[in-house]
Amino acid sequence: MKPALVKSWIEVPADCHFPIQNLPLGTFFNPREGKMGPCVRIGDHVLDLQILFEKGLISLDSNLLFDQWEFIFEGGRAAIRSVREQASDLLREDNSTLRDDASLRDAALHRVDDVEMLVPVPIGAFVDFYSSEHHATNVGKMFRPQGEPLLPNWKHLPVGYNGRASSVIVSGEEVIRPCGQTKSPQAEKPSFGPTKELDFELEVGFFLADSTDLGEARPIGKAMDMIAGVVLVNDWSARDIQRWEYQPLGPFLAKSFATSISPWIVTLDALDPWRTTSPAQTPEPLPYLRDSQRSHYDIQLEVAIQTAAMTSPQTICRTNYKEMYWSMAQQLAHQMVNGTNVQIGDLYASGTISGSNPASFGSMLELAWKGERPILLKETGETRAFVEDRDTVIMTGWCQGEGYRVGFGEVRAAILPSVGGAG
């Protein structure tokens, strides 16, 4: 059921990602006041929830603190839903409480350009999956041209690995080109230096708002209730470093140098109108992975690139999150099935999201097909096989409603030259 087109007393254009139907969760820092805290976004403004809590306009259970989302998440999705609903009520066009109180409005409402957005919640663990059938098939065709594109386990479980939470950064932070070992097929031994094959990976991630004890394995039917919401993810990859290091244990230095995320957690409640059925899965998964919920989402996604010589970015990929083979619920259920303890603030990324046609591929590896088909940047005539220094990559995503959008904003990062490493 689609939500009623509620309006706010704050003017929000129809193509803005942050109408009152969204109100995503974030953490901001106000340099003028030297304070940080939880907020929601409405149009071009952030709403300081801590001030509203102190004024008694937003309430929570007495055992919950209200200075960080980490603590609010202890109340689970019910607490998140309560905060969002109370904020929505204050922002409705027919509610004068905040609208007509100039002093409180000035204290609680800030233009987003006047504050700094931070990683929205402390990240205890980061897991990256490999859940797009189109992407996995493309990679298999490139590197195993004589064999089956998908490895034997791929359609039986959501393949993933534990990444490095400490290098997850927020949109706008620059990324330094990483160094590492690489080895060309012609070389007798490896060499050390900056990656020559820096790549982006278009992904969607989800944050947890619940924890489990060691040894506890919750069923898939409980998985979606544990998810706070969704962010955009660019899980950077150094393809040449990865090619040399990944056997037999998988990615290491090629992935741990940076993962960029958007600053806004879009709640599952906001995304609910765009829930959709999962694609058919053959063979049928084992019972613990059978997902009877509609836990896929119709999220339109785009990637653009802008070089230092360009005046505006060029879109090079358009795809959709509903293309994913494995759902969020299946990914989380698989993570928990062995009894590992998951925690509030854990971040899980989907893996590269690619569609069925070349314009929908979610990485440079696929778009330029191992560098064999460089992308033409029309404004300047430059070409790109991989991401070069001073390039900026911008990802965005949204769900389209009738007269409004619920979106994620963007995750962007510019690439700085390598500083040389310790090699």
Q: Which positions are catalytic?
A: 135
- C-alpha dist (Å) from residue 320 to 183, 335, 364, 384, 414: 35, 24, 17, 23, 24
Collapsing DSSP states into helix, strand and coil, what is residue 226? Answer: helix
Q: What is the rounded CA–CA span in Å between residue 388 and residue 414?
A: 10
Tokens of 230: 């969704």
Helix H or strand E encompassing 40: strand 35-42
DSSP assignment of 104-145:
HHHHHEEEGGGSEEE-SS--S-EEEE---HHHHHHHHHHH-T
Tokens of 226: 């544990």
Of 375, 411, 3, give the one whose Cα is nearest residue 172: 411
Q: What is the rounded CA–CA span in Å between residue 227 and residue 350?
A: 14
Q: Are 224 and 329 in contact (CB under 8 A)?
A: yes
Helix H or strand E encompassing 223: none
Q: Name the phi and psi angles at 157, rounded to 5.
A: -155, 150
**165 secondary structure, DSSP code:** G
